[in-house]
A and B are shown apart, each in its own frame.
Chain A
Amino acid sequence: MTTSTEPYVLNIGPQHPSTHGVFRLRVVMDGEKIKDLDMIVGYLHRSMEKLAEERTFTQNIPFTDRADYLAAMTGNLGLAIAVERLAGVEVPERAEYLRVIFSELQRIASHAMANGTLISDAGAWQTPLLYMFREREKILDLFEMTCGARLTTNYMRIGGVAFDPPVEFWPALQELVDELPDRIDEYHELLVSNEVFLARTRGVGVISPEDAVNASLTGPVLRGSGIPWDLRKADPYSVYDRMDFDVVVGKSGDVYDRFMVRMSELYQSVKIIKQAISQIPSGAHKTDIPLALRPDEGEIYSRIESPRGEIGFFLVSDGGPFPYRFHLRAPSLINLSLLNELGRDAALSDAIVTLGSLDIVVGEIDR
């Protein structure tokens, strides 16, 4: 005997505690089960790509802060590298190391945030999130020391970085790097063997390797599904080819694996930063480039590994000071595209945790 039920529509977002910004899910539900799910984006659209066509290449760097606002450094770096490759600008050695240090710091901060919010979505009352914030706070302090801003750093420049870090920066960084592994161990203790957390995340939102590749997912979401693909190794940029580190790959592609990949990448990032500190040469932190840089006519697609995946910049230059076309390949948007498949026939709670594990930043999706 079955009781006939009536599906109903639930609007999750744009104002909702777990949509990570202004992102809307229109869910058709049957009881606690999701029957169908629409993702509605565009609430944060600022027409960034069009605006970029009216700005010089350097003036576009602040836009990349506001695209992926949780990983401003890698956004900056992506654009800087794209323009450098387009215009053939040389970067001093010291700047390359500074770039590596700051993008890895940013990766730690961003992964901490991602994992913290994921656990908050699973229902822990913000404790892990705030523990993660402890380290993120110190990293943001380091950013503030160096470039004056904590979130929208605007630090990378075409041909180097904006400032050389002050003298206080290095001991503070050393202290942070020394204590970070212990702190990450602490999170492991708190979370990794937590039965409730395991029950909520294992076997939930499984992405098969084939699906992950076909949907062109990138970043920890792809690696969580077992595909060993990291642009820092696969297509090295900056001085990553001189660093000794491993790429973390999950096994089953569920929420837990994506969480663990991010967790373990923290150790690798610390390892990279340590090597960069020991190897960093002295010298200039920036090459001088003309204020209105005019690259030769041409186009380029340049990609780097942001905390969320492959952040790519497609730039077309017509020889003028402004880009003729500016396109941002946002990893969040493409990683999100699988949510429809993952959420269907899942419980509402599982869909929320899955969404949290995809680690989206709405600024980057809408641009």
Chain B
Amino acid sequence: MSSDTRPATPMSRQIAEHRSLLDRALGLPKLVLVALSVALIGFVISQILIGYMVVSGQLDGKWYDIRDFGNAMVSLSDAINSSGMDSRIASTLTYLIPTLLGATGIVSVVGGWLLIGPWAERRLLAKFQIRQGPNRTGPFGLLQSLADALKLMQKEIIIPRGADRFLYFAPPIAVFIPAILGWAPIPWSPKMSYADLDVGVLFVIAISSLGVLAVFMAGWASNNHYSLLGAMRTIAMMISYEIPISVSLLAVVLLTGSTKLSEIVMWQSEQGVWLIMLIPFAALAFLFASTAEINRTPNDIGEAESEIVAGFYTEYSGMKAGLFMAVELGNAILVGALMSTFFLGGYTFFGLETWIPGYLILATKIGLVYFLFVWIRATLPRFRLDQLMGFAWKFLIPVSIALMFLTAIESSILVRWDAPSFLSLGLIALVNVAAAVGLTFVWMRVLFRDTDLSAPPAPILTRKMGGLQAAKVLRG
């Protein structure tokens, strides 16, 4: 029996021989490795140098912090204005060029993510599920999403009989609009945001309410009961969970005193605290409600594949279904960006943003929130529709509103009370955490007063066989 350790079958042998991602990355040619590490070190050093020059004030006046593309845009506008063109052309150009460049930037960020995101999600899910994930297409399977997109584009477009053709073709495009528009107010660096709206928070809420109609149209026009069920579920969820989202954003606005996203980030940076520490319940409510809005587990009942196949896009084939899936992914990182901006300090990281570009910090935070989504998706089953609706209306909304009132009182004290910020904010954080925990506890007790919340009984072990009589004896 010397062959104890020999894997039994070809498949298990293959699995045992498989090397990890890191191993294979280190197994690349020496030259590539050296070039990659030199590039990485050079990038870091250059960023630190630029950061140093910015901090020491050597770049002020003459040139701007080039890491902030907003500054580049301002200098571009200045250059156009001072070039002596006709003023109308110049103003049109200053209007058009940054607009187009910014739009290109947003679309390429979203588009780039749509190429990387599915791969990242599938690899991560695979790691959670002890399998390999896509690793055949390109290095480490990175080109998988491209291959998928190509495959989807070649597929036949199937239009169900009895479908409402106009309403059937509009939704895959219509759902993309809010997914792209939502990126507009997000600040990536102090001056780097596409449209730093004064009504940024309202804009976010308004944009998030736009997707509902496209989903409904998709479900209605498909002429399929699964689609209609999925659409109705999604609409019910979106309408219900918009309220906790709005209320938690209201708490943010109350504390920071601004609806401008850049000012919300600046407030967090100046106070040296993230809002998730001050209003944790609002942050968690936002996160949970967002998963309901964008149809991710545990709230993905709108497209619960074990129940209603693919929900509202059951009847869509080829790239049209691909667009729906892409929007889902795009929305996930949009929620990540919003979550980071509102509750996790945005592009700042306690002073680190002076040393490395703000957008890298924001991207990291988005990635972390996205990782959380993937983690949840890999771990949790989904709720039932009535449970989710009950959770929103019976628990999330009342508790959020009560805590929002508390936040309002605190914020009005905060502006009048001239205490050191660590004292006042620390007190607020303490009060809020205590209130959230206490209110949750009390409210749950009220809600579930008739329900048995004890742990489920363990099964009985027996050796005496029998029928109904034996069952009665066993149950006692």
Direct contact of A and B (CB under 8 A): yes
Q: Tell me the A residues contacting B by CB distance below 8 Å.
A: 8-10, 16-18, 29, 32, 119-127, 130-131, 134, 137-138, 141-142, 144-145, 167-168, 170-172, 190, 192-194, 196-200, 202, 209-210, 213, 225-230, 233-234, 246-252, 256-257, 260-261, 264, 347-350, 352, 356
CA distance A228 to B381 in the complex (A): 30
Interface residues of B in 417-476 (CB under 8 A from A): 455-468, 470-471, 474-475
A121 / chain B contacts, CB cutoff of 8 Å: 306
Q: Does B307 contact A (CB under 8 A)?
A: yes
B309 / chain A contacts, CB cutoff of 8 Å: 16-17
**Which listed residue, A120, A145, A233, touches B9 by the CB 8 Å rule?**
A145
A124-B380, A168-B3 given; name 7 further pairs at CB < 8 Å. A141-B8, A194-B381, A200-B382, A251-B457, A264-B461, A348-B307, A352-B307
Residue of A120, A256, A348 ringed by the most chain B CB atoms within 10 A: A348
CA distance A142 to B8 in the complex (A): 7
**Which listed residue, A198, A247, A347, touches B465 by the CB 8 Å rule?**
A247
CB distance from A141 to the nearest CB of B (A): 5
B385 / chain A contacts, CB cutoff of 8 Å: 32, 347, 349
A-B interface, 7 closest residue pairs, ranked by CB to CB distance from nearest: A123-B382, A246-B461, A18-B306, A234-B465, A130-B129, A122-B381, A124-B381
Q: Does B378 contact A (CB under 8 A)?
A: yes
Contact call B384/A125, Cβ cutoff below 8 A: no
A145 / chain B contacts, CB cutoff of 8 Å: 8-9
A134 / chain B contacts, CB cutoff of 8 Å: 130
Stretch at the interface among B87-95, B192-200, B278-286, B296-304: B296-304
Contact call B468/A209, Cβ cutoff below 8 A: yes
- Among residues of B, the one whose C-beta sits closest to the C-beta of A267 is B461
B225 / chain A contacts, CB cutoff of 8 Å: 8-10, 29
CB distance from B1 to the nearest CB of A (A): 6
Interface residues of B in 40-98 (CB under 8 A from A): none
Q: Tell me the B residues contacting A by CB distance below 8 Å.
A: 1, 3-4, 6, 8-9, 11-12, 125, 128-131, 225-226, 229, 233, 297-298, 300-301, 304-309, 377-387, 455-468, 470-471, 474-475
B464 / chain A contacts, CB cutoff of 8 Å: 228
Contact call B384/A261, Cβ cutoff below 8 A: no
- Among residues of A, the one whose C-beta sits closest to the C-beta of B463 is A246
Contact call B465/A249, Cβ cutoff below 8 A: no
How many cross-chain pairs have Cβ atoms below 8 Å apart between A and B? 172
**Which listed residue, A8, A127, A246, touches B462 by the CB 8 Å rule?**
A246
Contact call A227/B467, Cβ cutoff below 8 A: yes
CA distance A248 to B306 in the complex (A): 29
- Among residues of A, the one whose C-beta sits closest to the C-beta of B461 is A246
**Which listed residue, B9, B11, B307, B459, touches A18 by the CB 8 Å rule?**
B307
CA distance A119 to B380 in the complex (A): 9
CB distance from A212 to the nearest CB of B (A): 9
CA distance A257 to B457 in the complex (A): 9
CB distance from B344 to the nearest CB of A (A): 25
Contact call B463/A233, Cβ cutoff below 8 A: yes
CB distance from B284 to the nearest CB of A (A): 15
Known: A123-B306, A227-B468, A229-B466. A264 touches B377 (CB 8 A): no
CB distance from B391 to the nearest CB of A (A): 10
B463 / chain A contacts, CB cutoff of 8 Å: 233, 246-247
CB distance from B414 to the nearest CB of A (A): 35
CA distance A233 to B464 in the complex (A): 8
Contact call B468/A213, Cβ cutoff below 8 A: yes
CA distance A226 to B467 in the complex (A): 9
CB distance from B18 to the nearest CB of A (A): 14
Known: A248-B461, A260-B458, A261-B459. A130 touches B131 (CB 8 A): yes
B377 / chain A contacts, CB cutoff of 8 Å: 125
CA distance A190 to B377 in the complex (A): 14
CB distance from B454 to the nearest CB of A (A): 11
- Among residues of B, the one whose C-beta sits closest to the C-beta of A144 is B9
A9 / chain B contacts, CB cutoff of 8 Å: 225
A138 / chain B contacts, CB cutoff of 8 Å: 12
CA distance A173 to B305 in the complex (A): 37
B8 / chain A contacts, CB cutoff of 8 Å: 141-142, 144-145, 168, 172
**Which listed residue, B298, B386, B460, B462, touches A123 by the CB 8 Å rule?**
B298
CB distance from B41 to the nearest CB of A (A): 38
Contact call B306/A17, Cβ cutoff below 8 A: yes
CA distance A50 to B460 in the complex (A): 42
The 29 listed contacts between A and B (C-beta, < 8 Å) are A16-B309, A18-B307, A123-B298, A123-B301, A124-B297, A124-B379, A126-B129, A138-B12, A141-B9, A141-B11, A167-B1, A168-B8, A200-B382, A210-B468, A227-B467, A228-B470, A228-B474, A246-B463, A247-B461, A247-B463, A247-B465, A248-B460, A249-B462, A251-B457, A260-B459, A264-B461, A347-B384, A349-B304, A356-B306
CB distance from A190 to the nearest CB of B (A): 8
Contact call A127/B456, Cβ cutoff below 8 A: no
Contact call A229/B12, Cβ cutoff below 8 A: no
**Which listed residue, B1, B125, B306, B459, touches A120 by the CB 8 Å rule?**
B306
Contact call B378/A127, Cβ cutoff below 8 A: yes
Contact call B456/A256, Cβ cutoff below 8 A: yes
